[in-house]
Structure 1
């Protein structure tokens, strides 16, 4: 049979201590943003969310009124 055949090998599990050490080692590699970058990112995200809320609200209002107009409901109530 080829190497693609079903194997009886079980995957090797790491101990919780080894896992924790690996997590800490990976977190040390992370480049953390400065406070100025964090404030800038916060405001960029907030502006994006507010713009998307405005677009979706306008579409919801417009499509709702269109549905009432097409199906004969009264949109003024």
Structure 2
């Protein structure tokens, strides 16, 4: 897909009559686009970073408790159904 410079529309490559860029030219274009996207990234402030970290750690603790609870429940159910091995 190529963006038409005049209208801004995205058109399929090769339909506008232009020659497809070479292998190394496409690599250079890719890295230029990566750098352009990285410039758009906004670094979080210290308070935002601490808040996001607390949310992630809280979520992990809740999920660990959920998995532990389910594991305990399933082991209790299997003990009740099949009994304790002699």
TM-score relative to the length of structure 1? 0.70
Superposed, which structure 2 residues align to 1:1-77 within 5 Å?
A: 12=20, 15-74=26-85
Gaps of 5+ in 1: 1-8
Which residue matches 1:5?
A: none
Bigger strand fraction: 2
| RMSD value, Cα | 1.8
Shift in Å, 1:15? 2.1
Deviation at 1:32, TM superposition (A): 2.3
Deviation for aligned residue 1:39: 1.2
Count of residue pairs the alignment pairs up? 64
- Long gaps (5+) in structure 2: 1-13, 15-19
TM value normalised by structure 2: 0.64
Please list the CA deviations of residues 42-67 of structure 1 after superposition, one character each: whole Å capped at 9, or x if unmatched: 11100110111011101101111111
